[in-house]
Amino acid sequence: MSVDASLIDRSAHEIVGLLQREEVTPHDLLDTLAWRVEQVEPRVNALPTLCWERAHAHADALLKRPVAERGVLCGLPVPIKDLTDVAGVRTTRGSTVYAERIPERSDAAVTLLEARGGVVYAKSNTPEFGSGGHTYNSVLGITRNPWDLSRSAGGSSGGAAAALASRTAWVAHGSDLAGSLRTPSAFCGVVGLRPTPGRVATGPAANPFDTLAVNGPMARNVTDTALLLDAMCGELPGAPLALAEPTRRFLDCALQPQRPVRIAFSEGLGIAKPEAEILAVCRKTMDRLSAAGIGVDTPDIDLSAAHKAFHVLRGVSYAMNYEEVLAQHRDMINPDVIWNIEFGLQLEGRAVSAAYRTRGELFNRTAALLERYDVLICPATIVPPFPVEEQYVKEAAGRQFDTYIDWLAITYGLTMLGVPVMAIPCGMTASGLPVGIQIAGKPRGEAALISAARAIEEIIGTWTTGQPAL
């Protein structure tokens, strides 16, 4: 075993450089991660399923190739969210229905990542079927926030975010429908990018034309997130919406950041009301950007119509994906998930057509706004990380919520637009918990978004006043 604790805090970009120069091997990295996992995992539960033997075998195969042919990640270890199949590795989807399921075939996104030099060593925890903004399930338990183990890591990519914050991952695969890349990033003080639908292809899928749910990269900073996006994007057979690889690397966009000239800032997008402490941190961040010479405007933005429309379209997705599971295993499914499936099954055509019409109107209105601004910024959550005993946020800023996902409106409002959105940390609460902002870019504008986000990250600088509790 070759453990080098000094590698843990290095950036993924730096680690890949070491791999390319053959100063470390993928085996060194896996051994170091195994050491770190043993230290922290019993308390965090971010990576409940580990596959070290498979990872070392893949590393052996990778090392037989010339360095130049080892892909953009060159042997960098990557955990995969437990919603996504990895051949030969237990993949539960956070459900007792699939508690012992071991797929024979990997999802195409995993196959692509491995072809690009990623080494899969773990599955990251998720709520059942990825539902909700808190990572807990009856199979693998609760994932805890490394900054405060009594608090939620967010969801549904909570395991991925907690692994990054607790230094058991340099980068991580995740997915996002209602905010599942962005909420846990904000809660854990890391970076998550919800890309344009089709930018990161997956498959096979029951609905290959879905544009609400996407896969995307997470990391500890913008540059490392861009690096992982380069490894994840590209056309795949069986993915009809997949976009071609860009001619310029996203990593280069991060390494050569361009400051935005004009920013649109909204405290709640007309759809949500963040708590006062969240708003105070975000306003201070805007003050810092303004002091750096960036124009910060507060145009009127109203995405309130997204509430009803998103519930309808999400319900359709749940009905299509899980109707058969509900019929066969109703007694094994979380009641909140049952509600979602049944809500989708009872929808009528008029409600669905109205939801699609609303989505189109929201996109057209926001696309016109983004012609006047480089990016749109808003808080990434309306609350700081909440106690792990609570299944979801029931009340915030004086408002009570009807369902377990209503508190996520500030993220799912942007989901409805189909634009790329990145969550980055921007400060801390008085009790030492991370706060994040969302940065939304123009349609299919990942390159400019990453460049602007990296410049903003540089201006924000050292946002933390401490270190995770681990």
pLDDT tens, residue by residue, 248-281: 999 999 999 999 999 999 999 999 999 999 999 9
Amino acid 468: pLDDT: 87
Averaged pLDDT for residues 421-427 = 98
Q: How far apart are CA 332 and CA 27, in angstroms?
A: 39
How much of the chain, in percent, has pLDDT values that exceed 90? 96
Amino acid 467: pLDDT: 75
Amino acid 378: pLDDT: 98
Residue 293, CB half-sphere, CA atoms under 13 Å: how many? 4
For 287-339, what is each residue's pLDDT tens digit? 999 999 999 999 999 999 999 999 999 999 999 999 999 999 999 999 999 99
CB-based contacts of 348: which residues, under 8 Å, 6+ apart? none
Q: Which has the closest alpha carbon to 156: 370, 445, 412, 383?
A: 412
Nearest-Å Rg of the Cα atoms of the chain is: 20
Amino acid 238: pLDDT: 85
Average per-residue pLDDT for the chain = 97
- Per domain, the residue ranges of the chain are 5-460
Residue 469 pLDDT class (50, 70, 90 cuts) = confident
Amino acid 236: pLDDT: 86
Amino acid 139: pLDDT: 98
Averaged pLDDT for residues 212-222 = 98
Amino acid 46: pLDDT: 98
- Total Cβ atoms within 10 A of residue 357: 12
For 165-184, what is each residue's pLDDT tens digit? 999 999 999 999 999 999 99
**Strand order across the beta sheet in which 119-124 lies:** 49-50, 119-124, 77-81
For 131-161, what is each residue's pLDDT tens digit? 999 999 999 999 999 999 999 999 999 999 9
Residue 1 pLDDT class (50, 70, 90 cuts) = low
Amino acid 272: pLDDT: 98
For 11-68, what is each residue's pLDDT tens digit? 999 999 999 999 999 999 999 999 999 999 999 999 999 999 999 999 999 999 999 9
Architecture, CATH, for domain 5-460: Alpha-Beta Complex (3.90)
Residue 350 pLDDT class (50, 70, 90 cuts) = very high
Torsion angle of the four alpha carbons 399, 403, 408, 412, in this order, in degrees rounded to the nearest 10 = -120
What type of residue is 344?
A: G
DSSP secondary structure code for residue 25 in this structure:
-
